[in-house]
Amino acid sequence: MATYAMLTRVSPEIVRSAHTLEELEHKAMEKIRAHCPDVKWKQSYAILGPYDYLDIFEAPDNETAAKVSTLIRAHGRSHSEVWVATEWQRFKQMLRSLGPSPTPTEMP
């Protein structure tokens, strides 16, 4: 399963109270569990900056990750971005598998 990071910005018109945010979260997660049962939610954070939330989840493929993002947008009238994330140790292993880097004189 691939790991995805999703940044979400909730529309200001939809947020009337803290209770509204919890209700939106509950409804969105119900839909995600129903339509994407193989998604594993890892962590959720409220963040400062241009986005309101950062969610980390695992999904079997990009299509499933896109479904998650679509469901979040549909229920929160929000904007979201989904990025695939590679664990740092795994990324370093991938780099090593590429072999030694060419020297500047070896590059085309």
pLDDT given at position 27 = 87
CATH code, 88: 3.30.70.1060
Tell me, yes or no, whether 106 lies in a domain: no
Give the Å distances, CA to CA, from 79 to 1, 8, 15, 64, 72.
24, 6, 14, 17, 9
Tell me, yes or no, whether 102 lies in a domain: no
Local structure of 67: helix, strand or coil: helix
Q: What is the pLDDT along the chain (108 residues), one digit of tens a residue?
A: 999 999 999 887 777 767 778 888 888 899 999 999 999 999 999 999 999 999 999 999 999 999 999 998 887 677 899 999 999 999 999 999 998 877 666 656
pLDDT given at position 22 = 82
* Beta-strand relationship, 40-46 and 53-59: antiparallel
Q: What pTM, to 2 d.p., does this model score?
A: 0.82
Q: Whole domain around residue 32: which residue ranges?
A: 2-97
C-alpha 107/C-alpha 63 separation (Å) is 36
